[in-house]
């Protein structure tokens, strides 16, 4: 699995989310397997979006599509503020186990 991580400032989350939702089928057609949207607690006008792909090639193609056809158009990306930053990430390990409250690490 490869993650396409996108980080950028936004003007309005609800407007951004509506535009994001409008591209749902495009994401499916491009091979997106799932996504996660995160915002810093102290900055509601910034977000990080992780899009999961089977491989780096598909993730790279989608990043290029976003740069050339979506982010270049204010109509397609109405809430975008500034230039998005993208990275392709390779998962090297996880541990989602929760620590027991009160136990020392």
103 three-class SS = coil
Q: Where are the domains of the chain?
A: 2-87
pLDDT confidence bin for 100, thresholds 50/70/90: low
| Bridge partner residues of 50 (DSSP) | 5, 36
Q: Which residue has the higher pLDDT, 5 or 97?
A: 5
For residue 103, give Cα distances in angstroms to 25, 94, 95, 97.
45, 21, 17, 14
Residue 102's pLDDT is what? Answer: 60
pLDDT confidence bin for 74, thresholds 50/70/90: confident
Domain with residues 2-87, CATH architecture: 2-Layer Sandwich (3.30)
Listed range (49-53, 76-80, 81-85, 96-100) with the worst mean pLDDT: 96-100
Residue 32's pLDDT is what? Answer: 98
Tokens of 88: 């392709």
């Amino acid at each position: 699995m490869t993650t396409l991580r996108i980080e950028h400032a936004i003007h309005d989350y609800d407007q951004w989310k509506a535009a994001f939702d409008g591209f749902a089928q495009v994401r499916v057609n491009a091979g997106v397997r799932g996504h996660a949207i995160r915002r810093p607690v102290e900055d509601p006008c910034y977000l990080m979006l992780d899009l999961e792909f089977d491989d780096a090639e598909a993730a790279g193609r989608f990043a290029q599509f976003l740069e050339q056809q979506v982010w270049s158009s204010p109509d397609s990306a109405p809430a975008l503020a500034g230039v998005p930053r993208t990275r392709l990430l390779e998962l090297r390990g996880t541990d989602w186990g929760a620590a027991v409250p009160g136990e020392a690490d």
